[in-house]
């Protein structure tokens, strides 16, 4: 009887979880195997070495947070406002670990110390901004205002998790909804 192999995607997913929790140093083959409940020998059926896994993690993350998000938004049809509204909903409620704020922040932190990761992050950020620009320019004729809305939207996505401020009589969800409506006006 043949033993079932741990799928390649599980190694990548577990690697991203480890990266999210402890940075690239936490992505260790033996620790991943322990977390998956398998021997580390199966790892080498998919990856040459740890560096190859790290590259696959970044490839998968990049694809998930750019092209796959855009495909999901576009597949719903509608005008630019409807697409932006779906984008806010998707990134605000994502349960997929690729969208998680912890993964995003871990990769951003890694990029501060690794030029290749920094270049990839720049490519991802530029692709995200290009897409948002295309949508905001459809609802906002002023090019500078459209750019400002893009930056506010993107900054909110990345930085909202760092803000610990109270909002008077409003809770965080109410303020985020007000911001969403303001940006989509």
How large a percentage of the chain has pLDDT more than 90?
83
pLDDT at 91: 83
Structural domains of the chain ordered from first start: 8-57 (1.10.10.60), 66-183 (1.10.357)
Question: Model confidence at 1, in pLDDT bands (50, 70, 90)?
Answer: very low
- Count of beta carbons in the 10 Å neighbourhood of residue 46: 17
Q: What is the pLDDT of residues 75-120, one digit of tens each?
A: 999 999 999 999 999 887 766 655 578 899 999 999 999 999 999 9
Residues ≥6 apart with Cβ < 8 Å to 67: 127
Predicted model pTM? 0.89
Is the model more confident about 82 or about 41? 82
pLDDT at 95: 61
pLDDT at 98: 55
Phi, psi dihedral angles at 127 (to 5 degrees) = -65, -45
- Count of beta carbons in the 10 Å neighbourhood of residue 162: 8
pLDDT at 160: 85
| b/e map 10-44, b = 16+ CB within 10 Å | bbbbbbbbbbbeeebeebbbeebbeebebeeebbe
Q: What is the pLDDT of residues 123-160, one digit of tens each?
A: 999 999 999 999 999 999 999 999 999 999 999 988 88
């Amino acid at each position: 009887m043949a033993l079932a192999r741990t799928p390649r995607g599980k190694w990548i997913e577990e690697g991203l979880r480890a990266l999210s929790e402890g940075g690239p140093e936490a992505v260790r083959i033996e620790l991943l195997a322990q977390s998956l409940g398998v021997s580390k020998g199966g790892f080498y059926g998919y990856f040459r070495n740890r560096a190859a896994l790290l590259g696959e993690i970044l490839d998968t993350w990049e694809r998930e947070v750019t092209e796959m998000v855009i495909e999901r938004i576009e597949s719903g049809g509608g005008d630019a406002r409807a697409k932006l509204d779906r984008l806010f909903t998707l990134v605000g409620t994502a349960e997929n670990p690729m969208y998680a704020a912890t993964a995003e922040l871990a990769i951003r932190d890694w990029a501060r110390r690794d030029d290749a990761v920094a270049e990839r992050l720049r490519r991802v950020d530029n692709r995200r901004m290009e897409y948002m620009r295309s949508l905001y320019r459809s609802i906002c004729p002023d090019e500078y205002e459209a750019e400002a809305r893009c930056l506010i939207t993107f900054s909110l996505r990345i930085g909202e998790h760092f803000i610990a401020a109270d909002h008077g009589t409003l809770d965080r969800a109410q303020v985020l909804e007000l911001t969403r409506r303001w940006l989509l006006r």
